[in-house]
Amino acid sequence: EKLNTIRGFKELSPEEYMEILRFITFQSERTELSKTKIKQATQQMVEMIMKPLMKSDKNLMKNVSAEDIDKLKISNPSDFLYSILLSLISNILLSDLIPVILINKTDKDFIFSDNPVVLYNPTYDNGNNSFRGFQSPALLVFCPMSSNKCLMLFDSEYYNIIVDKNNFHYITDPNEILKINRLQFHNCLDNIYYGSQSQKDVVDNLSKDFFSKYKKEEQLALTKTAKHVSDPHRELVIFSSRGIPEKILFSFLKYGKMKTRTPLMRNKRICDL
């Protein structure tokens, strides 16, 4: 509520700002979409790691067959709660991003979905490789606050934006609002919400255009293997979420260049903390 009424970020204490970041990390992980993704990742871990380990156990295999293991359904009832716990202590991972409040001065409202906090990476992201972790280089975060305000966090190594003395940026082009709203479609599970009946046609048209080009993917979690950097005889199993397949560029942002070698994180000191 206070963030919606402030005239600048200087009105917030460091503790209040960190609580806003905690809200963002918590909100991004508490949704049904996040729960579905975590459950899928757990099942992929069972298939890729646990079942092969079981089959390699000679004592176990004396009593069961490989077919028995293949039929096993193994779940972790606490996996979603664990991700929620992590989200509550992950706010520090966003603390190096620059906050801006986008002020909507158009006749198109900001909308939000059932998964409203959007982590987006137009620099490195694509449909099959997601760079949308809290410490991913070139990350953008969008969190709609009302029909005319949206909090944006950005990595200043890759982006720049013109703001006033309060770190506000005023958007007068309705197409830019529609682009931000389009991210809500990419990010949602089932539902899109808007604040007034006057926006119904706008949202319907955006929906028709979106679903004419994209379908909702049922597989939200992705798993792949990679060679260990320091030991070529070992493999890493990497879990990630599906990326946003559409490259949406905003005219109010200035874009830097992609690094020749993608960094693993923005700030190692923060990750160590």
CA distance 42 to 75: 7
Which pLDDT belongs to residue 74?
84
Residue 242 corresponds to which tokens in the numbers above? 């599906």
CA distance 156 to 260: 17
Question: Pairing relation of β-strands 168-171 and 98-104?
Answer: parallel
Q: What is the pLDDT along the chain (273 residues), one digit of tens a residue?
A: 777 788 888 889 999 999 999 999 999 999 999 999 899 988 988 988 899 999 999 999 999 999 999 998 888 889 899 999 999 999 999 999 999 999 999 999 999 999 999 999 998 876 666 788 899 999 999 999 999 999 999 999 999 999 999 899 999 999 999 999 999 999 999 999 998 888 999 999 999 999 999 888 787 887 777 777 778 788 887 777 777 888 999 999 999 888 777 778 899 999 998
Backbone torsions φ then ψ of 153, nearest 5 degrees: -115, 140
CA distance 114 to 21: 19
Question: Pairing relation of β-strands 112-113 and 192-193?
Answer: antiparallel
Contact 269, 244 (CB under 8 A): no
CA distance 84 to 204: 33
Dihedral-angle region of residue 167 (phi above 0 means left; psi in -120 to 50 means alpha; beta otherwise): left
CA distance 90 to 29: 11
Helix (H) or strand (E) holding 24, with range, is helix 14-29
